[in-house]
Amino acid sequence: MLLALIIVMALSGADAAFAAPSATLQVSANVLPFVSFNAVQHVTSYQVKSDDIKRGYIDLPASMTVSVRTNMNAGVPVFFENAGGASVLIRESGRTDFIDQLFTLNTDNYRPNTPISKRYDFRVLLSADSKDGTYPLMISMAPTI
């Protein structure tokens, strides 16, 4: 035991000859973009009445919530469509502009990998030959990276 202690003390005070040489190492990494995406549809059908047909559309506020985690700071491109038959426009709740099937989910001012949650409104476009009744709303939505 004493011999081991003496050896450790001798090596700790050893010459620079026993020291490991230093080296500079240059490293680069390529971080691929990732998106964790979850869309929850809150409204699955809509009622059409004669006043809606005259107006030409039905607004469905807060119809979907989207939760995203990503390392993309330039936004996440998203595609959506309605398999229920009618043409549908979308907008982020609280905004005024409806957009068609492809949009960019804004990630400005969010730190990478921080959860982002946004609510979306739908506008169902009705044709003049639409009929009164209840219709399905079957939205599919996915990121397009």
| Residue 32 near residue 89, CB atoms below 8 Å | no
**Distance set, CA 20 to CA 8, 14, 15, 16, 23 (Å):** 17, 12, 11, 8, 9
Global confidence as pTM: 0.75
Report the DSSP beta bridge partners of residue 70.
Answer: 35
Residue of 61, 64, 60 whose CA lies nearest to 39: 64
pLDDT digits (tens, 9 = 90+) for 15-57: 555 566 888 889 999 988 899 999 999 999 999 999 999 999 9
State whether CATH 2.160.10 applies to domain 34-143: no
Give me the pLDDT at residue 13, please. Answer: 59
Position 18 scores a pLDDT of 58
Helix (H/G/I), strand (E/B), else coil: 129: coil
